[in-house]
Amino acid sequence: MVSLLSNLNGARNCGASQLGFEGMLGAGAGSGVSASAFDAVVSGAGQAWRIRLNIWRGQCLASRSLRVIAARYQYVQLSQMGTMVACVHCHSLAQRLARLLLASTTQLRSPDIEMTHAGLAKLLGVRRAGVTVAAGQLQERGVIQYARGHILVLDSPALLAESCGCFLQDKRIYEQVMSGSLQRRHPHT
């Protein structure tokens, strides 16, 4: 799992996006965009494939299908970042933590998450103490179990009920866009 963190001139980095098995880092590089507004940090163990930039660009130039997939994934990331901005302003820390844990289990394909409260706090853009309180409440309700950098999701449906609707919205957008079934809003254009 890779987290994209904002880097605002010495301000605390906070999570802007997160990707796992379903995503790609540097999708825009295939179309010549090599600048990044974010720091990419590995936030969960797993395997990843790597491709040299010049080979990625060459493959994107040669394959319309690959360009379409990369562009769709960029749209998904932009949509998820927009959802995250709204989520930060509209939902409680407890809801956002539940959303982050759901996303993590999905991206890692496992209910086991190796992440400290400090790491979760950085991704959520909050103080560690707030994460400790919210995680403690989830643990008291039997939704998760945590101990020193290890979180085990015990009840995914309960965690979903604790979260805001942003997780399901992001999941729906990903499935629609990446499957190619995104409907046009204006059928006559």
- Token pair in block for residue 20: 């796992």
- Range 72-76 average pLDDT: 93
Residue 12 is predicted with a pLDDT of 53
Buried b (16+ CB within 10 A) or exposed e, 6-22: eeeeeeebbbbbbbbee
Q: What tens digit of pLDDT does each residue of 115-141 get?
A: 999 989 988 989 999 999 999 999 999
Instruction: Residue 80: count other Cβ atoms within 10 Å of its Cβ.
Output: 24
Residue 188 is predicted with a pLDDT of 46
Per-residue pLDDT band at 181 (split at 50, 70, 90): low
Q: What is the mean pLDDT of the chain?
A: 88
Note the pTM of the prediction, 2 decimals.
Answer: 0.85
